[in-house]
Amino acid sequence: MIDAADNVTPVIGLEIHVELATATKMFCRCRNHFGDPPNTNVCPVCIGMPGVLPVMNAKAVELALKVGTALNCTVAEFTKWDRKGYYYPDLPKNYQISQYDLPLSLNGWLEAPLAEGAVKKIRIRRAHLEEDAGKNVHDHPAHTGVDLNRAGVPLLEIVTEPDMNAVEEVMSLARAMHRLVRWLGASEANMQMGQMRFEPNINLHIAHGGAIHKTPIVEVKNLNSFRALERTVEYEIHRQYEAWQADPDGFRLEKMGKQNRGYDDAREQTVFQREKEEAHDYRYFPDPDLVGVVVDRPWRERIRAGIGELPLARRGRYMDGYKLTFKEADALTQDAATGDLLDSAVAAGADAKRCVNLLLGRGAAIANERGCSIAQIGITPAALAELAGMLSGGTINATAAAKVFDTVVLESGSPMVIAREQGLLAVRDGGAIEAWVDTAIAANPQAVADVQAGGKQQKKAFGFLMGQVMQLSRGTAEPGEVQRLLRSKLGIPVTD
């Protein structure tokens, strides 16, 4: 446990690697596609044959610019490519093409939403483009394989300032970044596929005995899930505090420098890997095979104009304009298309709240079953608006609307036509409802007795009878009318 008297402040920054959603790789025309058989998307360029020439993928630069602009960065007017030398089996060239001193984007920020509507602005130091390495495959007991399908896939590295001081802030920023790159169409950011990876750097500033003790900065490599990120940061905070307690004079940044550690998923611990390398270890130098990139003003402006409303702004608009709760607005701004669907239905004249109830009710349930976004389940804005209008006009009740929603998603078509065909339009005809009420009363003497006896069981028994009538009507009876008739026939007061 951390002793409150020590006044411990975690200081955390993040490096975030995002694979960009281009059709081809960064410097060759091989397919950028996850899950293909090993070494099928390779060519002399990306496996590092001598004498080949890389050619830059403009789409990757475009996507990286989009992210940099959305992160409020200053976008460079000129950027170039550098070789970062290191030797790994999954990097056959022995260097990675990256950007060293002239990154594409610099000095931006992203807001991390915290509890109760607060936000923290986390500064972005830089966002640069590079190529991904291949992957070592440990699926054979006697040897390790190397799959180079990933080698040369465009990778955006986003580096924050160490502005986060708590696990919650780290998680909020990571989630905001995930949402942003997906929103912009820059990456699918599927973490199981390694399309988004986190590398937190963590140390503690401990106010102790009139001085600030800083623990060694630890960078944890290659975290592939939000869960791993959260556990790692939590674990490191406690590990470093305990190590400092055991040796307050020795366990210090100025004595031990920086370290790389890895996360051991099974043990839920970080483990020491090596002393952290510095920039000079990589022998950066400009890539002689690639020309620099000029990002002129028209290009920058076109990117800026194409970005549109960002997720947090849209979430705010939904809360203010549509009067949604934070939770509703947040759920509808997980991706751009779901919010677009809602906005189009509202533009077609539908009531926002009714649309939201439909989308977050059956819509979210179906999306969850299918593992897709709400927008992807396949309801059109027109159908959504029509169904919401039927609810507003009392042509259908909520139970029946849910059934119509499911049919629209499965078969498409007009909600009104479907409701009519399936006999799901609201029944307000007193005669029909009275017949269902009489049937329910006759079939359930015990519930009737419980209602009439009053006391504890009354509410539950009444609800049961309501349910029976709604069932008999297949969800079409107007609930207010059912309630009124039931109360009058059972001889209990009409209002409660």
Binding residues for Zn ion, per CB under 5 A? 28, 30, 43, 45-46
Q: Given the complex with Zn ion, which of 48 and 262 has the nearer CB atom?
A: 48
- 3-class state of residue 13 by DSSP: strand
Between CA 14 and CA 161 the distance in angstroms is: 8
Q: Could you give phi then psi for residue 156, rounded to 5 degrees?
A: -100, 125
Between CA 119 and CA 122 the distance in angstroms is: 9
Taking the complex as a whole, the smallest distance from the CB of residue 21 to Zn ion amounts, in Å, to 17
Between CA 192 and CA 207 the distance in angstroms is: 39
Taking the complex as a whole, the smallest distance from the CB of residue 44 to Zn ion amounts, in Å, to 7
Q: Given the complex with Zn ion, which of 44 and 378 has the nearer CB atom?
A: 44
Taking the complex as a whole, the smallest distance from the CB of residue 46 to Zn ion amounts, in Å, to 3
Task: Provide CB contacts within 8 A for 262, sequence distance 6+.
Answer: 220, 221, 222, 270, 271, 273
Taking the complex as a whole, the smallest distance from the CB of residue 96 to Zn ion amounts, in Å, to 14
Question: Which residue type is seen at 207?
Answer: A
Q: Given the complex with Zn ion, which of 42 and 76 has the nearer CB atom?
A: 42
Q: Given the complex with Zn ion, which of 45 and 419 has the nearer CB atom?
A: 45
Q: Given the complex with Zn ion, which of 34 and 284 has the nearer CB atom?
A: 34
Taking the complex as a whole, the smallest distance from the CB of residue 132 to Zn ion amounts, in Å, to 12
Place of tokens 């009275």: 434
Q: Given the complex with Zn ion, which of 55 and 337 has the nearer CB atom?
A: 55
Q: Given the complex with Zn ion, which of 28 and 359 has the nearer CB atom?
A: 28
Place of tokens 């975290």: 223
Neighbours of 330 (CB within 10 A): 17
Taking the complex as a whole, the smallest distance from the CB of residue 189 to Zn ion amounts, in Å, to 23
Q: Given the complex with Zn ion, which of 45 and 401 has the nearer CB atom?
A: 45
Q: Where are the beta strands (DSSP E) in 282-441?
A: 285-286, 293-294
* Structural element, H or E, at residue 120: strand 119-131
Taking the complex as a whole, the smallest distance from the CB of residue 26 to Zn ion amounts, in Å, to 9
Q: Where are the beta strands (DSSP E) in 132-254?
A: 135-137, 145-147, 154-160, 196-208, 211-214, 217-220
Structure-token pair, residue 235: 């674990």
> Could you report how far apart the first and last alpha carbons of the chain are, in Å?
53
* Structural element, H or E, at residue 111: strand 105-113
Between CA 489 and CA 166 the distance in angstroms is: 61
Taking the complex as a whole, the smallest distance from the CB of residue 30 to Zn ion amounts, in Å, to 3
- Distance of alpha carbon 423 from its chain centroid, rounded? 40
Q: How far is CA 266 from CA 228, 231, 276, in A?
A: 11, 12, 24
Q: Given the complex with Zn ion, which of 47 and 396 has the nearer CB atom?
A: 47
Q: Given the complex with Zn ion, which of 28 and 181 has the nearer CB atom?
A: 28
Taking the complex as a whole, the smallest distance from the CB of residue 197 to Zn ion amounts, in Å, to 21
If phi > 0 it is left, if psi is from -120 to 50 it is alpha, else beta; for residue 82 that is: beta
Q: What is the DSSP string of 70-92?
A: HTTPEEPSEE--EEEE--BTTBT
Taking the complex as a whole, the smallest distance from the CB of residue 20 to Zn ion amounts, in Å, to 15
